[in-house]
Chain A
Amino acid sequence: MSEPALLATSGLTMRFGGVVAVDQVDFAVKAGELRCLIGPNGAGKSTFFKCLTGQLRPTAGSVVFADQELRGATTHEIVRKGIGIKTQVPNLFDGLPARENIALSALQNHSKKRSEEITDQMLELIAITALANRDVGHLAHGERQLVELAMVLAGQPRLVLLDEPAAGMTAEERGRLANVLRELAGDMSLIVVEHDMQFIRDIATEITVLHRGRVFLEGDVAEIMAHREVQEIYLGKEANGAA
């Protein structure tokens, strides 16, 4: 008997007027799995994440997380159930130091003292202790990405959605991020949206390809990278005879 999915969507659809951004997506992630989600711009990846986190109300379909239906739940209810998200553009409290940003996340579930301990752990885990007392509004994009990841992890989620986490990072930061994500997988589930193929090779075993709002293909890294139609999608050509 196969391991049950931590998160499963069924027929998930999001329409904006005549535009179908997410089109009947069936998708599942197991507990502790690290899954990469790839696709060209406009494939519906960020919209899919917004549907999962309640920022958008799906037009149709269902989202089940840990055997609980999430459709209709508000963002904060979904987050409290154990889903955290690192958004495409780092979404931080710019006027506050990195430490305060992270502590605000931990404070959701813990006392002030405990949240400060968790904050210190997260600063060490992501190796950004040097940034702790700097206002995040003054940090470089890559540093902001790391602070946001630490902030999300401080909420101790069971599933983390990461939307282009490596964008704007230096090679050293990307390497550090890849190590952290590999370490986290197993303890929690991760869904990573990314365009950087080298980064995906570094972290992923399983990949899902989204194209025009639909699941185009799923498979392991080697299989996906070698797939002719996936390459054509990324090169901007039409994927004739889509699967």
Chain B
Amino acid sequence: MLRAISKDWLGAGFVTVIGLAILFFVPVLFDLFEVLQMTKYVVLALFVLSLAYIWGFGGILSFGQAGFFGLGGYAFAVSSINMGQTTVPFLIAIAVAALFAAALGYFMFYGRLSDVYLGVVTLVVTLILWKLINHTAGPEYVIGTARLGGFNGIPSIPIMTLPWQPDQEMEPSHMFQYFMAILIGVYVLLHILIKSKFGRIAISIRENEVRTGLLGYDVRLYKLAIFTIGGAIGGAAGAMWATYQTFVDPNIFSLEWSALCLIWVMAGGVGTLFGPMVGVLALEYLSFQLGQTDFINNLIIMGVILIFLVLLLPKGLFPTFRDFVTKHWNRRHE
């Protein structure tokens, strides 16, 4: 696995170039509605990267990634309404999600929770957050000038502005490009991290946690750092989601979001960064198209597709495609 990783700088460069092409050409080639739709995919692609990294490159299976997504969204909503700008709130959203992930991770990893219990705890904590925010409908639940709104959510969240220019609200096409730049930046940073000493040790933890500890590495500290990074990315995605929708409600913490995130990673391919982003795009686009038909429930079709994906392509879409291409390339050049 590590050997394969050491060979894929080329792949990462290719993905980055494709990403930059999308960043520059989508606003030119597509209409407003399509740009908005693709902005949504970009936000969700960042969200899925948070799980793709911690699961695929640290072996931490979190069933509650929506918790960080939601915390980022709410932190951004509250702070941007209070501050009248979006740059600092975006950083606050990342910090809040990261700190929460660090605190939760500390109890889980230093409490020596096994993988199964870790999954259960992350799921339950997210559901607690969902329940908690749902019960903040009363007027007493207010932070500064921002009412939490309980199940009604928080409306009128400021639209993302240009960094440090609170009066310059972004046009949809600029927001797409800004979010796309963030996505590319996070992808590249994660790739560098995976290639670093930290990344090699993270992968060794995924491969064999006991042996990694027996080599003198503090497994708990590494897992905490990996989990916190995942939380921070989830928080950034949540903030972007909140400003994209200009609205956030407790459903951002729902089990549905956590489950979707898992499904996207599984469909795209665990152990890759690019695959889960493809998974988001493919499944969300499919879901959108099916949602426009009324002759059959799109959830049923999605369920059937997912069952086939898991049974026929257990590695996921991208690794299967990559293996297929590599195999034929090698055959042709033997």
Interface residues of A (CB under 8 A from B): 53, 55, 74-76, 79-80, 84-85, 87, 91-97, 100, 104-105, 107-109, 112, 151, 155
| B residues less than 8 Å from A92 (CB atoms) | 208, 211
| A residues less than 8 Å from B239 (CB atoms) | none
Please provide the 6 A-B residue pairs with the shortest distance between their CB atoms, ordered closest to farther.
A79-B216, A95-B1, A93-B207, A91-B211, A108-B216, A75-B213
| B residues less than 8 Å from A75 (CB atoms) | 213-214
Closest Cβ of chain B: how far from A146's Cβ, in Å? 16
The B interface is mostly helix, strand or loop, or mixed, namely: helix
Interface range for B? 10 to 19
Chain A residue, CB-CB nearest to B196: A112
Contact status A155-B216, CB under 8 Å? yes
| A residues less than 8 Å from B216 (CB atoms) | 76, 79-80, 108-109, 155
CA distance A214 to B201 in the complex (A): 38
CA distance A78 to B100 in the complex (A): 30
Contact status B217-A76, CB under 8 Å? yes
Closest Cβ of chain A: how far from B132's Cβ, in Å? 34
Contact status B214-A107, CB under 8 Å? no
| A residues less than 8 Å from B3 (CB atoms) | 96-97, 100
CA distance A97 to B211 in the complex (A): 15
**B203-224 contacts to A (CB < 8 Å):** 204, 207-208, 210-219
| A residues less than 8 Å from B208 (CB atoms) | 91-94
Contact status B197-A93, CB under 8 Å? no
B2 in the interface (beta carbon within 8 A): yes
Closest Cβ of chain B: how far from A112's Cβ, in Å? 7
Contact status A100-B217, CB under 8 Å? no
B200 in the interface (beta carbon within 8 A): yes
Contact status B215-A105, CB under 8 Å? yes
- Scoring A85, A96, A104, A109 by chain B CB atoms within 10 A of each residue's CB, the highest score goes to A104
CA distance A232 to B29 in the complex (A): 86
Contact status A76-B213, CB under 8 Å? yes
- Scoring B197, B200, B208, B214 by chain A CB atoms within 10 A of each residue's CB, the highest score goes to B214
Q: A-facing mask of B1-37, CB < 8 A → 1, else 0? A: 1110000000000000000000000000000000000
| B residues less than 8 Å from A107 (CB atoms) | 197, 200-201
Chain B residue, CB-CB nearest to A104: B204
**B168-216 contacts to A (CB < 8 Å):** 197, 200-201, 204, 207-208, 210-216
| A residues less than 8 Å from B210 (CB atoms) | 55, 91
| B residues less than 8 Å from A85 (CB atoms) | 214
Contact status A104-B214, CB under 8 Å? no
Contact status A76-B1, CB under 8 Å? no
Closest Cβ of chain A: how far from B323's Cβ, in Å? 15
| B residues less than 8 Å from A105 (CB atoms) | 215
| A residues less than 8 Å from B218 (CB atoms) | 74, 76
With contact pairs A93-B204, A95-B207 given, residues A87 and B214 touching in the complex (Cβ less than 8 Å): yes
CA distance A74 to B2 in the complex (A): 27
Contact status A112-B207, CB under 8 Å? no
> In the complex, which of the residues A79, A87, A100 contacts B2, with contact meaning CB atoms closer than 8 Å?
A100
CA distance A88 to B200 in the complex (A): 25
Chain B residue, CB-CB nearest to A99: B3
Contact status A155-B215, CB under 8 Å? yes
Contact status B211-A93, CB under 8 Å? yes
Contact status B1-A104, CB under 8 Å? no
CA distance A91 to B218 in the complex (A): 17
| A residues less than 8 Å from B219 (CB atoms) | 76
- Scoring B200, B201, B208, B211 by chain A CB atoms within 10 A of each residue's CB, the highest score goes to B211
CA distance A104 to B219 in the complex (A): 14
Contact status B207-A94, CB under 8 Å? yes
13 further contact pairs, Cβ within 8 A, besides A55-B210, A104-B215, A105-B215: A53-B214, A76-B216, A76-B219, A93-B208, A96-B2, A96-B204, A97-B3, A104-B201, A104-B204, A107-B197, A107-B200, A108-B215, A151-B215
Closest Cβ of chain A: how far from B5's Cβ, in Å? 10
> In the complex, which of the residues A76, A80, A84, A96 contacts B207, with contact meaning CB atoms closer than 8 Å?
A96
Please list 28 pairs of residues, one from A and one from B, whose beta carbons are closer than 8 Å in the complex, sorted by A's number. Answer: A75-B213, A76-B213, A76-B217, A79-B213, A79-B214, A80-B216, A87-B214, A91-B208, A91-B210, A91-B211, A93-B2, A93-B208, A93-B211, A94-B208, A95-B2, A95-B207, A96-B3, A96-B204, A96-B207, A100-B2, A104-B200, A104-B201, A104-B204, A107-B201, A108-B215, A108-B216, A112-B197, A151-B215
